[in-house]
Every structure is written in C-alpha cells, then in structure tokens.
Structure 1
Amino acid sequence: MTMSVCVPLLSMSMSEGKIVEWHVADGAQVEAGQPLYSIETEKTVVDIEAPASGTVQHKVPEGGTVPVGEEVALIV
C-alpha cells in the first residue's frame, strides 16, 4: 500500500514550509516513527516522522518550499 506524506499544519499561521534536510535517502527503507525529514517554518525547524514503513520516494528536493498539505514523499 502506498502512503502519501504531506506537509503538516504545525501552527495556525503556517502556510508553507521549507524542506531543510531529508533524514532518509530517496529509495531507502524507513521504519514508521523514524525521522523522515526536517521542515523549517516561520518560527522553527521540526523533524517529521515517517507515518509508515517502506521505501521512500522523494517528491520535493532539499531546499524546496511547499505549501501546507502538499505531498513531499511517498512510502511504498
């Protein structure tokens, strides 16, 4: 089953975030709960955990800025 990973709403004023680092390489295996990427908001940098186990497919490169709700990766 494929799981979509989207930018979460981390504060009421957040409209977008910047992917500052992928902690799991594209094509690598990830376990549920493992830090997947770090996102920078207007106030802080937050580590986002993988919602499922599987193979990661990045959809946004490091440094990319994406709106809340946008898909940044797939876990297959």
Structure 2
Amino acid sequence: MSHELRVPQLGVTMTEGEITEWVVENGEAVTEGQVLYVLATDKTETEIESPAAGVIEILGKEEETYEVGTVIGRIV
C-alpha cells in the first residue's frame, strides 16, 4: 500500500508552503516518524515526518512553493 505525501495545512490561514529542503534522497528507505523534509510558510519552518515506513518517491522540488494538499511524494 502506498501513502501519498501532501503539503499539510499547518495553520488555519495557511494556503501554501515551500519545500526548503528534502532531508532524504529519492528511493531511500524511510521509517515512520523519520523527518522527510522542511516546509516553510509565511510564519514558520517545520520538519515534516513520514507517516509510514517504506521507500520514498520524491515528486516535489526544493525551493518550490505548493498549495496545501498538493501531492509532493509517495511512500511505497
């Protein structure tokens, strides 16, 4: 079963976020709770953790801004 990684809504008024850094590499095995990337909003930077264990497929690019809910990766 795969898990889609979507840009989370970290605040009530948040509409988009920028991936400032992927902490893992594409195709890397990850564990549940492991930090995957850093997401910046207009108010804060937050480390986003993996919701599951598996192999990550990165779709979103660093230094790009995405709307809340956009699929930026998968864990398979």
Structure 2's unaligned 5+ residue stretches are: none
TM-score by length of 1: 0.97
Identity %: 41
Within 1, Cα distance between the matches of 2:53 and 2:64? Answer: 24
The reply on whether 1:19 has 2:25 as its aligned counterpart is: no
The reply on whether 1:39 has 2:51 as its aligned counterpart is: no
Give aligned pairs, total. 76
Q: CA RMSD in A?
A: 0.6
The CA deviation string for residues 11-66 of structure 1, in whole angstroms up to 9 with x for no partner, is 11110000000011111011000001100001010000000001100111111110
The 5 Å alignment of 1:1-76 reads 1-76=1-76
TM-score by length of 2: 0.97
Within 2, Cα distance between the matches of 1:63 and 1:30? Answer: 22
Within 2, Cα distance between the matches of 1:22 and 1:29? Answer: 14
Runs of 4 or more above 2 Å deviation:
none
What code does the residue aligned with 2:21 have? E
